[in-house]
Amino acid sequence: MEKNEAKQRAVELRELLDKYSYQYYQLDAPEVSDYEFDMLMQELKGIEEEYPELITADSPTQRVGGEASGKFEKVEHTVQMGSLQDVFSLEAVEAFINRCREELVSPEFSVEPKIDGLSVSLEYTDGLYVRGSTRGNGFVGEDVTGNIRTIRSIPLKLKGDPPAYIEVRGEVYMPRSSFYELLEQQEAEGKQVFKNPRNAAAGSLRQKDPRITSSRHLDVFIFNVQQSDGAEFTSHSQSLDYLKELGLKTIPSYKVCTEFDEVRAEIERIGNERSELPYDIDGVVIKVNDLSQREIMGATAKTPKWAVAYKYPPEEKETILTDIEVNVGRSGAITPKAKFKPIILAGTSVSSAVLHNQDFIDEKGICIGDTIVVRKAGEIIPEVLRSVKHNGNTDVYKLPDRCPVCGANAVREADESALCCPNMQCPSQLLKNLIHFASKDAMDIDGLAEAGIKALVDNGLVSSPADLYTLKKEDLSVIDGFADRSADNLLAAIERSKALGLDRLVYALGIRNIGQRAAVLLCSRFNDMDKLMNAKENDISAIDGFGGTMAESVVNALKEPHMTELIERLKKYGVNMHYETEEISDSRFSGMTFVLTGTLPTMKRDDAKKLIESFGGKVSGSVSKKTSCVVAGEEAGSKLTKAQELGIEIITEEELIRRTQNN
């Protein structure tokens, strides 16, 4: 396709994809199938790959960034993102309305559901999305532009005739269906589960990798115009109608009322319907509708006087705790779950709730047979609030000291609350550990994704990472998806993995508290697996960047019988057990500690780090009195400020490069 033809087709595809996204995510009335949408997206991606100069900032292909940022810069809000005064009774709502009537002439009130999520600001210049930030403390938030870009219901380009500049405020939330999917995933992986959709939304929006945010299927409702250049309004309801015309997904079902009885009826209506909503609400917001009247009412230092948030009281019920079930996640976390006589909460029957850990059980003095009080946190997740009566049994429940699945001695790190099974071959952990072992940053077995690993386990071919090195082509022939060529490629990838450095193997073993960087430091000190297995805690903790907890994790893990057996098998199958350290011919940065901050003009952080380390220097993530030098780029934040306060030398990327070239 010629460039001019490609350019015109790209414009057509973007318009179509924007139209279909709006229909799907905002109108809930898709005109085309998912397959047709995906084919159009693939066509646009193909054009942009062939002609990268045709990529535009508002292209639907640009929603998900390719790399993790590792940081969130600060954003100062020009217009304060204030909070609302909470009220907890209808009498308090009536008192608010009466106060407004005393100061205003015939006030109207906008009544709308209060979405339980994370407040954000979105900024558009000439109709194009340019920045997204969190509320923070109302005055300063965090720049999460890339992560917000992944939310499909947020238009990258406004419709109609948008103003030159507009900043709007909205609430990012996680739909209940997405929340349930995430819970299942976290429980299956033995991870700490989010307590409610609001926490899940907040945690997802602040992921350092926007691809993770994208996978969480967040959504948004816009409920306010913060400021605009070229658009004026007289009322809140008028501004919401305008935002809807621009293609923004506005707060649902707002109603303008004049009397308290109308307001109360709307509060009751929303309350009766909230359990049926596909998202969480934690109350109702009542605002003066006329914007000029809001100016008359004014605000306190913390909250506006022209609005309140009515909060629904959480429903609590008593029931009998009949048992405590212990589950083991694939990461080894041993999690207790309360089983109790079924009760109806927020419109649904519940009979179980996660008890988190032993500290939680001890704090609440929970015994099997107790009468307990249960509620739904955020109207979704059942949680045990307290024990109100011991029914004969006064022995506080204690978690088992051995894994209930494989029998390995359960361990609890000094600074952690979870009890864990350390056995990497425990059936409850096997799949996740195999996925980690084969991952790109570990043994990099290309072509072995989760589905393939699950098939190998299900067919009894693999029950340990070592079994991967015994696979033959005829073994793979019985599994769907492993045709001749893919089987050959997989076996070749497994063979290649044997030659990787010891640091990759140590990371692949999944030792608690030992990530990629720690594995490199460990192997730089002990460059042979036998030396590492015989290392003492004090020798390991003496490594710069290590501590007692990390050293203890390494020693304990390598003493576990299942681990020693695994390592011996890997040795037998030819997996490399040595670490080759790179010779540093020029150690001009030896003994120096650098800190990188801000966006460097030409280098990525990892590249700058490798450059410093190649000359014998060390890179730290935080500034202290021991820091030798700070390399600062654009939008450098608190690290730069601290370096200035401590009088530490600050240089640019250009100066860093000059120092490596100057002999």
- Which domains does the chain possess? 3-62 (1.10.287.610), 85-311 (3.30.470.30), 315-421 (2.40.50.140), 422-581 (1.10.150.20), 593-661 (3.40.50.10190)
Residue 308 pLDDT: 95
Count Cβ atoms below 10 Å from residue 36 Cβ, excluding itself.
13
What number of CA atoms fall less than 13 Å from residue 95's CA on the CB side? 9
Name the maximum alpha-carbon separation found in the chain.
87
Please report which residue ranges of 258-308 form alpha helices under DSSP H: 260-273, 291-297
Residue 24 pLDDT: 66
Residue 23 pLDDT: 75
Residue showing tokens 């030398």: 649
Distance in angstroms (rounded) separating the CA atoms of residues 436 and 125? 43
Residue 447 pLDDT: 84
Three-state DSSP class for residue 657: helix
633 DSSP 8-state letter? -
Structure token pair of residue 3: 């460039």
pLDDT digits (tens, 9 = 90+) for 196-255: 788 888 888 888 888 888 888 999 999 999 999 988 999 999 999 999 999 999 988 899
- pTM score, whole prediction: 0.52
Residue 68 pLDDT: 46
Q: DSSP labels for 216-248? A: T--EEEEEEEEEEES---SBHHHHHHHHHHTT-
Distance in angstroms (rounded) separating the CA atoms of residues 92 and 459? 64
Distance in angstroms (rounded) separating the CA atoms of residues 422 and 408? 7
Distance in angstroms (rounded) separating the CA atoms of residues 133 and 123? 9
> End-to-end distance of the chain based on CA atoms, in angstroms?
52
What number of CA atoms fall less than 13 Å from residue 546's CA on the CB side? 25
* Signed CA dihedral, 438, 444, 450, 453: sign only: negative
Q: DSSP labels for 299-353? A: B-SSSBTTEEEEEPPPPEEEEEEEEEEEEE-TT-EEEEEEEEEEEEETTEEEEEE
Residue 1 pLDDT: 76
Instruction: Give pLDDT < 70 ranges for the chain.
Output: 24-30, 34-35, 38, 64-71, 187-192, 195, 330-331, 346-348, 377-380, 413-415, 424-425, 481, 545, 581-585, 635, 662-663
575 DSSP 8-state letter? -
Residue 242 pLDDT: 95
Three-state DSSP class for residue 620: strand
Residue 580 pLDDT: 82
Structure token pair of residue 643: 């370096």
Alpha carbon distances (Å) from 171 to 142, 185, 463, 622: 15, 25, 45, 32
- Could you tell me if residue 253 is left (phi over 0), alpha (psi between -120 and 50 degrees) or otherwise beta? left
- Chain mean pLDDT for the chain: 86
Written as one letter, the residue type at 435 is: I
Please list, in sequence order, all residues whose beta carbon lies within 8 angstroms of the beta carbon of residue 289, skipping any fewer than 6 positions away. Answer: 107, 108, 109, 110, 235, 236, 237, 256
Q: What share of the chain is helix, strand, coil (3-state, %, to 5)?
A: 40, 20, 40
Instruction: Supply the residues annotated as catalytic.
Output: 114
As to burial, measured by CB atoms within 10 angstroms (0-12 exposed, 13-18 middle, 19+ buried), residue 637 is middle
* Signed CA dihedral, 393, 398, 402, 404: sign only: positive
